[in-house]
Structure 1
Amino acid sequence: MRSPTLGLSACLLGLWLCWGSPSWAQVLREPTQEQVLSQDEFLSRLEGVRVLYLGEVHNRPDDQAAQLQILQQWYEQNPELAIGLEMFERPRQVYIDQYLAGEISEAEFLELSEFETRWGFPWESYAPILRFAKAHNLPVLALNAPIEAIREVARGGFDNLSPQNLSYLPPVEEFDLENQAYRQRLQDLFESYHQGHGSSEGFETFFKAQVLWDETMSYHVAEFLQTHPERAMVVIAGQGHILYGDGIPSRVERRLEEIEQLSLVFDPDPTLSSTPERPLADIIWHHEDSDLASDPETPPD
């Protein structure tokens, strides 16, 4: 069984944004070694892959533009794709389906899905991806838990979840809270956000809210792939849900043991550690002349 972030023999691949450039990519086979990877070589890595994770910084339009490029290229190689999006909550799936079927306009879709208020990042960053899916009849999945459920957990743990919100979630008793490296990474983030003044109780509910995000998204990815064995999926989510495989990838693998996965993140924080034993991701995409933007996973209100 292949680990979700140890594919490619624990290599890190650094990919440049320009698909046509002769020096399109760099490969980090060891933390200090580099070699060139071509576009064709990257696409060959996708052969047999069922899930490709694209870890973005939400407020960086270059990330969404690169996601569309990757999606278009993989579609040419394998038209049996689906797209999973963190940007939409499970109760909004009906509106995605109506939009893709042409039953409602894009304007109606935005209003009904409450995209602008629930997600909060510009629609035009993601619109080309949805339009591509509509033009090519690709299924699109709303992966995220309702924000109301996240807030319930953040304020009172899993016992605070309402029956209405539980209906959109996987069984809470299946949640994995034992990943100590993930817990430590989130604790460091929590303490940084609260400048050292956060309580241990506050961290525990924050941690559980993060796990709720990841478990819900992984559950719906796995459920779709189980019922659609002919399809592969592109999963687009924030980097925090993909780095080191701790968030979504490891939880999909727990549900679907024999599954080929590949993770790619765009210009991650250069201060994050990465080793062959615990790589950030299978693939690191570097935008040319990019300025790293901040996009922390902050504790829910």
Structure 2
Amino acid sequence: MTIPFQRGSRYQKKKETSTGKFTSIDDLRGVFMKTWSLFLISILMSACAHAQSEGILRGSDHVPVTLQESVASVTPGSIVVIGENHGFVQHRDQQVQVMQALRAQGLKVSVGLEFFTYTQQNFVDSYRAGTLSEPEFLKAIQWGSPSYDYYRAQALFPNLAEGALTLALNAPRSVTSAAAKKGLEGLSADEKSLLPPNFALGRDSYKRRFLSMMPHLPTPEAGERYFAAQSIWDDTMAWRAADFIKSHPDQVLVIVVGEFHVQYGGGLPDRLRVRLPNTPIVTFSQINTLGMEEDEIAVEIQPSIQDGARADYLWLAPAQSLGL
């Protein structure tokens, strides 16, 4: 907020002290600043007082809700995006609970996974059809880490008998690696052919947050290249999801992706809304509160001044990697 209080301006009018009114605009400014400071302190104290380490909170006001309440508005043709910390059993279990809650509402649930590359959808289909064993499938897609034990349940959740599918979402690593090394202009014709139609970089606020996570880049140009690679991930996943939901409007697509891609709506949700302006999108941010004090949790879940809530729903829980 900018207030046009300037010395010598028409706003600086003397008031009679006997009336209890301000004697000058400086007095008014001082009271305003003191009131504003107390207001900010009260918000932080309130947040700390109500911070909790487990449960689902509404992102906008941090009111606790049940899982059923968080998905009650999801209808056929919607997309649910869950941002996780990779490789945690608790996050895996929460994701499956979201899928189960949607199914309990009578919805057909398909699942899209960041870890599967869209050019390998045929391997995913063969695996789900039973013509590829799990070891054969993991070898075919060159699965690395974390352990597939963290993602098997999600990949196998869709009921093929009702037409639900497991969807490979991500761009080929060869393309994102090339973009990170050479930039978009340096991509070969074959690499460019694998980009999503109408590809676009992520929005500016997302870019600023992304670059703030890498303070020791060798050059500004390196940051541009890395953000191009990040944007390829986001927009490719959005393109794949958009194509799917357009052709399967009777289903709900649940996407499991790294949490940074979801935070404050700037990564994948932003690209989804560009490609699907009329499609309902619900976002979850899974936050690991292990070892965090109440004041740390309060800071972690506070909305961004510029971008608003971290997600529609925040699922807090202490989570540990079990080294699977």
Asked if 1:283 corresponds to 2:313, the answer is yes
* Distance (Å, rounded) in 1 between the aligned partners of 2:167 and 2:59: 33
* Distance (Å, rounded) in 1 between the aligned partners of 2:201 and 2:52: 32
Match for 2:173 among 128, 147, 151? 147
Whether the aligned pair in 2 keeps the contact of 1:56 and 1:239 (CA below 8 Å) is yes
* Distance (Å, rounded) in 2 between the aligned partners of 1:47 and 1:16: 30
Whether the aligned pair in 1 keeps the contact of 2:263 and 2:311 (CA below 8 Å) is yes
Q: How far 1:64 moved relative to its partner?
A: 1.2
| TM-score for both structures, normalised by structure 2 | 0.73
Match of 1:201 in 2: 221
* Distance (Å, rounded) in 1 between the aligned partners of 2:95 and 2:320: 18
Q: How far 1:135 moved relative to its partner?
A: 6.7
Whether the aligned pair in 2 keeps the contact of 1:170 and 1:219 (CA below 8 Å) is yes
Q: 1:230-249 maps to which residues of 2 (within 5 A)? A: 230-249=250-269
Q: How far 1:214 moved relative to its partner?
A: 0.6
SS in 1 for 2:194: coil
Whether the aligned pair in 1 keeps the contact of 2:234 and 2:261 (CA below 8 Å) is yes
Match for 1:133 among 158, 162, 169? 158
Aligned residues: CA RMSD: 2.6
* Distance (Å, rounded) in 1 between the aligned partners of 2:309 and 2:60: 11
Alpha carbons of 1:89 and 1:205: their partners in 2 closer, same or farther (altered >3 Å)? same
Q: 1:89-104 maps to which residues of 2 (within 5 A)? A: 89-104=117-132
Whether the aligned pair in 2 keeps the contact of 1:100 and 1:133 (CA below 8 Å) is no
Q: How far 1:206 moved relative to its partner?
A: 0.8
Measured against aligned partners, the alpha-carbon deviations of 1:75-114 in whole angstroms (never above 9, x if no partner) come to: 2213422111101111211100011112111121111111
Match of 2:39 in 1: none
Match for 1:50 among 50, 72, 78? 78
* Distance (Å, rounded) in 2 between the aligned partners of 1:141 and 1:169: 17
SS in 2 for 1:274: coil
SS in 2 for 1:40: helix
* Distance (Å, rounded) in 2 between the aligned partners of 1:53 and 1:163: 32
Alpha carbons of 1:109 and 1:43: their partners in 2 closer, same or farther (altered >3 Å)? same
Structure 2 stretches of 5 or more lacking a match? 1-50, 290-296
SS in 2 for 1:133: coil
Q: How far 1:164 moved relative to its partner?
A: 3.0
Structure 1 outlier segments of 4+, above 6 Å: 14-17
**Amino acid in structure 2 at the alignment position of 1:105:** S
Whether the aligned pair in 1 keeps the contact of 2:113 and 2:155 (CA below 8 Å) is no
Q: How far 1:131 moved relative to its partner?
A: 2.5
Q: How far 1:239 moved relative to its partner?
A: 0.7
Measured against aligned partners, the alpha-carbon deviations of 1:249-269 in whole angstroms (never above 9, x if no partner) come to: 111111111111100011168
* Distance (Å, rounded) in 2 between the aligned partners of 1:107 and 1:134: 21
* Distance (Å, rounded) in 2 between the aligned partners of 1:110 and 1:170: 25
Alpha carbons of 1:149 and 1:105: their partners in 2 closer, same or farther (altered >3 Å)? same
SS in 2 for 1:190: coil
Whether the aligned pair in 2 keeps the contact of 1:90 and 1:168 (CA below 8 Å) is no
Aligned length in residues = 261
Task: For CA contacts below 8 A with separation 6 or more, give which structure has more relative contact order.
Answer: 1
Alpha carbons of 1:16 and 1:99: their partners in 2 closer, same or farther (altered >3 Å)? farther
Measured against aligned partners, the alpha-carbon deviations of 1:153-192 in whole angstroms (never above 9, x if no partner) come to: 0011112223333333213x53135x2211110110121x
Asked if 1:229 corresponds to 2:249, the answer is yes
Match for 2:192 among 148, 166, 176? 166
Match for 1:157 among 183, 198, 211? 183
Alpha carbons of 1:26 and 1:232: their partners in 2 closer, same or farther (altered >3 Å)? closer
* Distance (Å, rounded) in 2 between the aligned partners of 1:15 and 1:85: 29
Alpha carbons of 1:226 and 1:109: their partners in 2 closer, same or farther (altered >3 Å)? same
Match of 2:208 in 1: 184
SS in 2 for 1:115: coil
State which structure, 1 or 2, has the greater radius of gyration over its C-alpha atoms: 2
Q: How far 1:284 moved relative to its partner?
A: 0.2
* Distance (Å, rounded) in 2 between the aligned partners of 1:149 and 1:190: 21
Asked if 1:175 corresponds to 2:195, the answer is no
Q: How far 1:44 moved relative to its partner?
A: 1.3
Structure 1 stretches of 5 or more lacking a match? 1-13, 18-23, 294-301
Q: How far 1:29 moved relative to its partner?
A: 4.8
Alpha carbons of 1:125 and 1:282: their partners in 2 closer, same or farther (altered >3 Å)? same
Which has the larger displacement, 76-85 or 199-208? 76-85
Q: 1:266-281 maps to which residues of 2 (within 5 A)? A: 266-267=286-287, 270=297, 271-272=299-300, 273-275=302-304, 278-281=308-311
**Amino acid in structure 2 at the alignment position of 1:186:** F
Q: How far 1:232 moved relative to its partner?
A: 1.4
Asked if 1:215 corresponds to 2:215, the answer is no
Identity %: 26
